[in-house]
Amino acid sequence: MKAYLPFIIGGSAIALVIAIYWAGHRAGASSVQVKWEDEKVVHANALLAQEAAHRARERHLNETMEAIQDEGREKLTELAGVLSGVAAERDSLHTALADSRERASQDSTATGSCAPIQSAADLYSDLLRELQGLAGDYAESADRSRLAGDACEVAYEEVRGIE
């Protein structure tokens, strides 16, 4: 047995070294795994914080856009009120013009005046009415486009200023 003793001691020493190595390897692997898990948690928390910041920015931009749209709607409502007032005034002027033409036609028939003068006045009056209507339509369209453009510029500057 003495002859086998060095082999047994050597084998035991090798087994002990392998066991120590294996235990150290497992402990080291476990330590690395813990570090990786900690890093994952840190990265996940950073990602959540970044997402929360983006959501807050998105909420702010949505609120800003809604405020700009509300302001634009208010301006359009004011414009519609002004335009209806202008249209009412135009209609009253046309009514007054028609009344005065009616009186003039009654006076001219009493004095024997020419009919073509009345026809030219009617033609000019109708032409003026059509031109005023078209001018009002074009002005309304231009005002709406201007208000929409102003709202768009304000929204763009707001978004650009945040970035």
* Residue-wise pLDDT tens digits, 49-87: 999 999 998 898 889 888 888 888 888 888 888 888 877
What is residue 53's predicted lDDT score, i.e. its pLDDT?
94
Tokens at 144, concatenated? 């709406």
Domain chopping of the chain, boundaries: 5-162
Instruction: Please say if the pLDDT value at position 41 is more than 80.
Output: yes
What is residue 93's predicted lDDT score, i.e. its pLDDT?
77
Total Cβ atoms within 10 A of residue 125: 14
* Nearest-angstrom CA–CA distance, 87 and 1: 124
What is residue 4's predicted lDDT score, i.e. its pLDDT?
73
What is residue 1's predicted lDDT score, i.e. its pLDDT?
61
At 44, is the pLDDT very low, low, confident or very high (cuts 50, 70, 90)? very high
* Nearest-angstrom CA–CA distance, 145 and 72: 11
Nearest to 156 by CA among 50, 66, 83, 65: 65
Instruction: Please say if the pLDDT value at position 115 is more than 60.
Output: no
* Nearest-angstrom CA–CA distance, 121 and 108: 13
CB 118 within 8 A of CB 100: no
The pTM of the full predicted model, rounded to 2 decimals, is 0.49
CB 65 within 8 A of CB 159: no
Instruction: Please say if the pLDDT value at position 113 is more than 70.
Output: no
